[in-house]
Copies of this chain bind each other. A is one copy, B any other.
Amino acid sequence: MPYVNIKITREGATPEKKAQLIREVTESLQRLLGKNPQTTVVVIEEVETDNWGIGGVTVTERRKTGL
């Protein structure tokens, strides 16, 4: 019955990679914690690099300056 929310910057993750990520996380939850995969929900959110900050700096700025 778990709910998993994965936020990543929007930088070209393919549907195949995202589907594989959903499979793996669901499988980890089943194997490690015994959670029922049929009711495990995984939601991926892709966020613009202007809207994501780390170290007080947006990812857009970090990419420009080579951080």
- Min Cβ gap A32→B in Å is 5
Closest to A17 in B: B32
Chain B residues with Cβ below 8 Å from A9 are 1
Please count how many residues in chain A sit with their CB below 8 Å of the partner chain's CB atoms. Answer: 50
A50 to B2, CA, bound (A): 15
Nearest residue in B to A38 (C-beta to C-beta)? B55
Give Cα A57 to B39, complex, Å. Answer: 11
Q: Given A2-B8, A3-B7, A33-B13, are A22 and B60 neighbors across the interface (CB < 8 Å)?
A: no
Please tell me if the beta carbons of A41 and B54 are within 8 angstroms of each other in the complex.
yes
Do A6 and B2 touch across chains, with their CB atoms under 8 A apart? yes
A56 near B: Cβ within 8 Å? yes
